[in-house]
Structures are given as C-alpha cells and as structure tokens.
Amino acid sequence: QVQLVESGGGWVQAGGSLRLSCEASGRTFSSYTMAWFRQAPGKEREIVAAITASGGSTTYAASVKGRFTISRDNAKNTVALQMNSLKPEDTAVYYCAGDPTRWAYYSGRYEYWGQGTQVTVSP
C-alpha cells in the first residue's frame, strides 16, 4: 500500500509555469505505475500524464502534450509534473495516482490517490 501527498499547486498567469510534486510513502513505490489526473469544476476527471515504474515510458493527454512533463525519482519516492505554457483551461484540481500494476498505464485505472492540489491559471 502507498500513501500519496501532492504539493506545488497555486495561482499563475497564463503562459507561466508550475511544478507539482507527489511524495509517496511505502517501500514499493519503485514498482508502481504513477499518473497525474485533473478535474475542473463541472467536468469529469481526466488523465493528464502517466509514467511506468521504471520511468522508461510516458504518455500524455493531447491537450498537454509538449507543455507538461511527468518524471519520477524512485530513490526519493517522488513523481513530478512540470507544467509550462499554462492556459486558463488548465485550471483544475490535480491528483497524483498510483497503482501496483503496469496495466494501469494502459487502462487509466488507479488504486491509490492523493488528496489533490489546486492549480489556477488566470488569463
């Protein structure tokens, strides 16, 4: 089992950058598929990016490709989301998610979730 805690959210003007971080507890983090999701008011939660346990493969939603980068440091039990060229439509609560199976990378279904961190992008 793993517990996830996000940090790094906040307010930024359009065109700016933010870096989200997710710290995981537990000794098995390095075997977990990890991802970032977001949910905007009135909208369904959507996956933003995912990364395999080794960090060797990543995938992104079309809306963020080329602007966001997911990375992980298995020695520090952290996964990060670097967000550049932010747009007002990126405003949402961002969630870190983890799953012990590689299947999560393809299915988008994750077992463990953080509490979320708010990102607000003003025009």
* CB-CB contact of 2 with 28 (8 Å): yes
* CB-CB contact of 90 with 82 (8 Å): no
Measured CA to CA in angstroms, residue 112 lies from 42, 65, 77, 100 at distances of 23, 24, 14, 9
The pLDDT value given to residue 93: 98
The pLDDT value given to residue 6: 97
Res. 61 pLDDT band, cuts 50 70 90? very high
Q: What is the mean pLDDT of residues 87-105?
A: 96
Res. 27 pLDDT band, cuts 50 70 90? confident
Residue percentage of the chain with pLDDT more than 70 = 100
- What are the structure tokens assigned to 30, written together? 């390095």
Q: In 3D, which of 38, 100, 42, 92 has the Cα closest to residue 70?
A: 38
Q: Is residue 68's pLDDT more than 90?
A: yes
Q: Is residue 92's pLDDT more than 80?
A: yes
**Residue 40, Cβ density class (10 Å: 0-12 exposed, 13-18 middle, ≥19 buried):** middle
- What are the structure tokens assigned to 23, written together? 């710290």
Measured CA to CA in angstroms, residue 40 lies from 20, 87, 91, 116 at distances of 16, 13, 6, 12
Q: Is residue 20's pLDDT more than 80?
A: yes
Q: Is residue 1's pLDDT more than 90?
A: no
